[in-house]
Structure 1
Amino acid sequence: MGDIYSVLRQLAGALAQLQSLGIIHTDLKPGNIMLVNDSKPLTVKIIDFGLACFESRVKVGSNAGTRWFKAPELLLGLPFTGAIDVWALGCVAVKMFTGYHLYPGRSIYQMLKFISETQGPFPDHMLDFGKKKKTVFHQRELLDTQDKYHGETGGTQSNRFKSQDDLRQVRDQYSILRPG
């Protein structure tokens, strides 16, 4: 566990440095983290800046990133900021701790559904203006928006992650979760 925390601290520091320079990596994933020193403490570097961009030159609708580490903004083709790298870091952290993807799925739609079920409904503007809306919703299925969810239930979703136990329950609930 100590090694994982050390690696995550280094990655968070590297992302903070990138953000201070106005750079978004856009494809943070385990395959783009290089171990440069395997003696204690471990030393890592972020590699593969082929999809990186300056925050001032973000290309809306970009196909950047690897599916299981993409923030909802990328999945939907919305404008994005450096926050997508922080999202990816969270997904990397879960993968490192559990061996499983935080938001699995065989399609972008399934991933968005998992995210919506665990983090709450997406704001209406995200679903209304996503450039990839037709691709994502080709099955004519819709994710509940916040307005629709609150209107039908009169409340908020309570199935958000609050602890690692919540992550384990989701992992055990969905049979498509597999290490690797």
Structure 2
Amino acid sequence: MRIIAGNYKGTTLYAPMGKETRPTLDRARQTLFDILLHAPWAGKAFIESAIVLDAFAGTGALGLEALSRGAQKAYFFEKNIQTRQVLEKNIQLCRANSISILYKDVIMPPLSNCFCNLIFFDPPYHHKLIPIALEQLQKNQWISADALIVTETAVDEEIQLNPSFSLINERKIGAAHLKFWKNSNMIE
């Protein structure tokens, strides 16, 4: 598993042992960032000005890929202790310590005022954690009004965010189903 493009391009990331963490495959990450780069509701300038929140971060591949492509800062949430240690090593490997902040549990986030505008949700499949985490992040002021939310679920997994978010794009890649969501009031 490598960083695909940008400043950290080609960096091979560490992965935790065992089956608890399921990193987003390079192919799915490439597709995700190609969509972001070329979509009228995102684009290169959006990625380069993004404040990223990588919920259920695992190896940190999504947040680190965004940082590699110019995002300003990334907040990573990872609850598993061993996986968090691997994530810390990946942040150091990419020399992204000064623009990365690591937290433990996205289901119980601290109160914030950073207002992230690019949010990645890639939790364990079939656990219905995304709506719960999103509600807590909104309640604790992590998500900007104009945030773009990217979810990765299993292809056979249904997901519905609260009514304030509308699905604007989706793509199936192997076993993964990527969905892109925007605040309904912010869709142009």
Determine if the TM-score, normalized by the shorter chain, exceeds 0.5: no
Q: Which has the higher strand share?
A: 2
* TM-score using structure 2 length: 0.29
Q: Which has the higher helix share?
A: 1
